[in-house]
Amino acid sequence: MANEPASLVFKIYCLTVMTLVAATYTVALRYTRTVSSDLYFATTAVCLAEVIKLFISLGMLARESSGLGRLKSVLVEHILKSPKELLKLSVPSIVYAVQNNMAFIALSNLDAAVYQVTYQLKIPCTALCTVLMLHRSLSRLQWFSVFMLCAGVTLVQWKPAELTKVQVVQSPLVGFMAVAIAVLCSGFAGVYFEKVLKSSDTSLWVRNIQMYLSGILVTGAGIYLTDGPQVMDKGFFYGYTPWVCFVVFLASVGGLYTSVVVKYTDNIMKGFSAASAIVLSTIASVMLFGLQITVTFAMGALLVCVSIYLYGLPKQDTTTLERPDKLAREKLITV
């Protein structure tokens, strides 16, 4: 299972689950941040999700290793005897810890639809990180399609702002700043994890365990530094309702599916596929439940489809499009 290729059906399944979980997560998280009077500590929810992901990854590794003896030797080799690797994976775990906390701050201050729309800036940011960190090249047409996708998803998810009055004080400026930080973190951490994962044969579940171990330490420090005295006073699970547990569950499942998607595709494809899953699930709702399609949705869906088509076109004359600097240098040398 470690490095065998996945079937197309399996990839589509993972992408669809990831996208549906992400959509539900944003709305459920927003709900939990606006309705309850005994507001839970967001930092504890982020930490708890890391713990759950660690245990599930251990279970998956045990399944992959077929036998407890083998599991033990894999853990000794990759965890106890690999401090360097643990340190390497602590980089994305710190960045993801910041990003996951930012999502709570943003959704405490912004409507879920506004958050979802502005968060789409992660698509070009991820493409930029891929080019810079993985040294992959995108043609001009592919760059164009990345921005077209960003505009398309924005239109597809466009909804009128929440009309219901929320019970908490909100600061849109703080919300937008949190989104900006989350966008940068998502692009960087996603591509960094992809780079580490694909640069060796080490199993995805081992990489996840290495990352979640430091994730627990970092998010634990986050609890201590941000809400320490209050958590000591009121308790770790203060304000936890069934909805909050549901949010933590979604955060864990969504994160694990994200890791599988990155393993079998890449971070840019994750953006494209998530967009098509949103379009397809809305079309399915139209056919199944008679949902009304808006003009903005139709325009956005068209942009998403065209951008997917353009991104997939074979690259032409890549030297001139991708490395004009290289070409100019070569010309200078000949002169």
Q: Kindly state whether residue 32 participates in binding ligand NCC, applying the rule CB under 6 A.
A: no
- Residue 100 or 118 having the CB closest to ligand NCC: 100
> What's the min distance (Å) between Cβ of 21 and ligand NCC?
5
Cα torsion angle, 122, 128, 129, 135, sign: positive
Whole-number Å distance between alpha carbons of 133 and 188: 9
Q: Which stretch binds ligand NCC (CB under 6 A): 17-25, 146-154, 291-299, 326-334?
A: 17-25
> What's the min distance (Å) between Cβ of 216 and ligand NCC?
12
- Residue 60 or 322 having the CB closest to ligand NCC: 60
Tokens 């420090």 correspond to 221
Q: Kindly state whether residue 193 participates in binding ligand NCC, applying the rule CB under 6 A.
A: yes
In sequence order, the 6+-apart residues with CB closer than 8 A to the CB of 169 are none
> What's the min distance (Å) between Cβ of 289 and ligand NCC?
23
Q: Are 311 and 272 in contact (CB under 8 A)?
A: yes
Q: Are 257 and 18 in contact (CB under 8 A)?
A: yes
Q: Kindly state whether residue 222 participates in binding ligand NCC, applying the rule CB under 6 A.
A: no
Q: Kindly state whether residue 42 participates in binding ligand NCC, applying the rule CB under 6 A.
A: no
> What's the min distance (Å) between Cβ of 90 and ligand NCC?
13
Q: Using CB atoms within 10 A of its CB, is residue 144 exposed (0-12), middle (13-18) or buried (19+)?
A: middle
Q: Residue count at the site for ligand NCC (CB under 6 A)?
A: 23
Cα angle value 217/218/223 (rounded, 5°): 95
Number of other CB atoms surrounding residue 318 within 10 Å? 12
Contacts of ligand NCC in 241-280 (CB under 6 A): 250-251, 254-255, 257-259, 270, 274
Q: Kindly state whether residue 26 participates in binding ligand NCC, applying the rule CB under 6 A.
A: yes
- Residue 142 or 259 having the CB closest to ligand NCC: 259
Contacts of ligand NCC in 129-168 (CB under 6 A): none
> What's the min distance (Å) between Cβ of 46 and ligand NCC?
9
Q: Kindly state whether residue 101 participates in binding ligand NCC, applying the rule CB under 6 A.
A: no
Contacts of ligand NCC in 107-136 (CB under 6 A): none
> What's the min distance (Å) between Cβ of 327 and ligand NCC?
34
Q: Which stretch binds ligand NCC (CB under 6 A): 79-87, 96-104, 282-290, 297-305?
A: 96-104
Whole-number Å distance between alpha carbons of 53 and 252: 6
In sequence order, the 6+-apart residues with CB closer than 8 A to the CB of 247 are 25, 28, 29, 32, 45
Whole-number Å distance between alpha carbons of 40 and 38: 6
Q: Are 121 and 178 in contact (CB under 8 A)?
A: no
Instruction: Look up residue 60 and give its two tokens.
Output: 């998956």
> What's the min distance (Å) between Cβ of 268 and ligand NCC?
11
In Å, what is the CA distance from 34 to each residue of 165, 169, 239? Answer: 9, 9, 12
Whole-number Å distance between alpha carbons of 111 and 104: 12
Q: Kindly state whether residue 78 participates in binding ligand NCC, applying the rule CB under 6 A.
A: no
Residue ranges that bind ligand NCC, judged by CB under 6 A: 18, 21-22, 25-26, 53, 96, 100, 103, 186, 190, 193, 208, 211, 250-251, 254-255, 257-259, 270, 274
